[in-house]
Structure formats: C-alpha cells, structure tokens
Amino acid sequence: MSGESSGLLDSLESLLHAQIHTGGPEMKIDSDSRLRHKNFPGADGSLYLGDVADTLLRVFGPHEPPLVTTPPGLDQQQWEIVASDSELTITIQSKSYWGFGLIASCFLNIIHINGPLERRARLIFDLASALGRNPWEAKWKGRFGKISGRSQMDEKEFWEAIIERGRTDLSDSIEMMRNNATTLEGDLSRLAEDSPEGWSEDSALESLSSLRLECDMAEDALHDKSAAGVERALSRAEVHLIEADPRTEVAAQHESAEQLLESMAEIDADEIDLTEEILVHEELPEEFVRTQDAIEEDDIPFVDLSEEE
C-alpha cells in the first residue's frame, strides 16, 4: 500500500521526528533574531544546530536566514527556528527527550513542513540521502515515542512514505525523459521534411542515443540515493533532446544568412514606423561652443578668501 493511499501523506503538511547524533555546528543569533554563521559580525547569542537541522537547511536550497522563534536558554541545544522560501515553510524544534540533555543524542528534532507535497517529498528524500542514516531510529524508543505520540514503527512509516514519494517523483522524471525521446524518434522522418539547414536525422539519432545513456546514469544515481546526480544527468539529457529536435532554437540557429535576409524581406513596410524625425547638427550651435580663449575672456570675479582664516 502506498503512502498516499494509506493516509500517511498529507496534501498540505508533514510532521516528522528525527534523532540527533551530533550537536554541532554552533550558530549565532543576530539582533533581528536571525540565525547566522558563527563568524557573523555583531551577532551575540548562539545555539547548537545539530546534524539533522544543519543538513536540512543545507539541502533546502536558497532561502532567507532562518528566524529563531524560541531562543535557547541555559541549554543551547533547545530552541525553535523557522526557515521558508516562496513555497515551503519549515519549523524545526530541538528538545531533549531523555538524559536531561547532557549529550547530543539526548535530543530530537520535531520537523513541521508546510507546502506542496512534491517539494516536501524531494526535501525529505534529500535530507535522508545526505544524512546517510535512518533519522527515525531513536536512541531510546520508549521516550522518543512519548514525545512524538507515535510508535517507532509508525514514525518509520511516515518517513518512508514521503521518502518513497520523493524517489518516485525522480523516477517518473527519468521515465518521462525516455518517453520524450521515443516520441521524438518516431517523428524524426516526418520532421525531417521541414528541418533547417545543418540538421540531420543521423545526428538527431546520435543525440537521442546519448540522451538514453544519461537516463541510465540518472537511474544509477537514483539507486545511490543521489538526487543531485539525477538532476545533473537529466539536465544533460534535456540538452540532447533539444539538439535532436529540429523544431527547437538550437536547430534553427543553423539558418543561413540568405534565409535570414529573405525572412527580413517579408516584413510588411506598414509595420515599420518611419514618422519619427531625427535632426543631426553638422556643427554645434555657436552659443554652445566653449573654447579656452572664450573662458579666459569671461569676466569671472576673483574672491580672495585668505583673510577669512
């Protein structure tokens, strides 16, 4: 049963709980309660971000500096921050759940994400991949479950459902690229009739072959849980698709100069506005000419300010 059919994936928000392994890095808080690098000038307060929150903010992408909504007290690993961009809002709370917070692994993160499901799924897929471990696996399962309100098995199912959605979305992108290549390959003979100069069907087939190799590399990257690797391979595949398609600008740029002139000649003269008059002076008017002699002849009064000292 998929995560969506079992009700594990909400259309608007996700709530997850993650075990902390390390407390660093140390971050500073500026005068506007924004989270800053520890070397940021003028920032006084500080907190320990922890490996989960640090990784999550790194894979989040471009965003404003997170807002510290609940600053730490005596324990610098207990806090709440909010990070957002145009689509997602992420609230991360760090709190101890056993051992009085004496060591980093006494803490967990409560992660609340609002926004489109596709973005949330991709973000959590990237987080789990970058962490290289299962974030739902707690040091003390009983205490962890009391804080989260879920059993360890339930927490695992929530994480795996959204991670699988992220993986499925990437897999669908790879399959879509393959389908685009197959569709274009079937149309090449027909499109060749009106293809621009410099385009050939043989070259297009070579580009589509390269596209499929990139899709294979994307699948390998997905198997290794590298979303960035998938995206890079798909970007290269997209270039090959554009090169193969005679209808794209890349093919059109091979248009000869003669064809370009012919297309320009087809422009209707009525579409060109020639009513604007442009006046050109062969010489500047005499009153605007300022030679050195003219400047010297001007009666410019001399004011001696040396006596003002």
pLDDT of residue 169: 95
For residue 197, give the nearest of 156, 254, 274 by alpha carbon: 254
Mean per-residue pLDDT over the chain, rounded:
84
For the segment 167-177, what is each residue's pLDDT rounded down to a tens digit? 999 999 999 99
Residue 61 has a CB neighbour count (10 Å cut-off) of: 12
Q: Are 183 and 242 in contact (CB under 8 A)?
A: no
Q: Are 237 and 215 in contact (CB under 8 A)?
A: yes
CA end-to-end distance (rounded Å), the chain: 92
For the segment 18-33, what is each residue's pLDDT rounded down to a tens digit? 999 999 999 999 999 9
**3-state SS assignment for residue 171:** helix
Residue 64 reports pLDDT greater than 70: yes
For residue 25, give the nearest of 43, 47, 4 by alpha carbon: 47
Candidate from 120-129, 131-140, 162-171, 289-298 with smallest mean pLDDT: 289-298
Question: 45 forms bridges with which residues in the sheet?
Answer: 29
Rg value, the chain, Cα: 32
Q: Which residue has the higher pLDDT, 284 or 111?
A: 111
For residue 83, give the nearest of 116, 47, 59 by alpha carbon: 59
**3-state SS assignment for residue 232:** helix
Q: Are 185 and 178 in contact (CB under 8 A)?
A: no
Q: Are 197 and 255 in contact (CB under 8 A)?
A: yes
pLDDT of residue 251: 46
Residue 92 reports pLDDT greater than 50: yes
Residue 91 reports pLDDT greater than 60: yes
Q: Which residue has the higher pLDDT, 250 or 141?
A: 141
**Which of 70-84, 261-275, 286-300 has the largest mean confidence?**
70-84
How many alpha carbons fall within 13 Å on the CB side of residue 95?
13
Tokens 């407390």 -> residue? 23
- CB crowding 24-47: b at 16 or more within 10 Å, else e: eeebbbbeeebbbeeeeeebebbb
Q: Hey, where are the domains in the chain?
A: 13-150, 170-252
For residue 29, give the nearest of 102, 89, 106, 81 by alpha carbon: 81
Residue 277 reports pLDDT greater than 80: no
Tokens 């595949």 -> residue? 237
Distance CA 10, CA 272 (A): 56
Q: Which residue has the higher pLDDT, 257 or 77?
A: 77
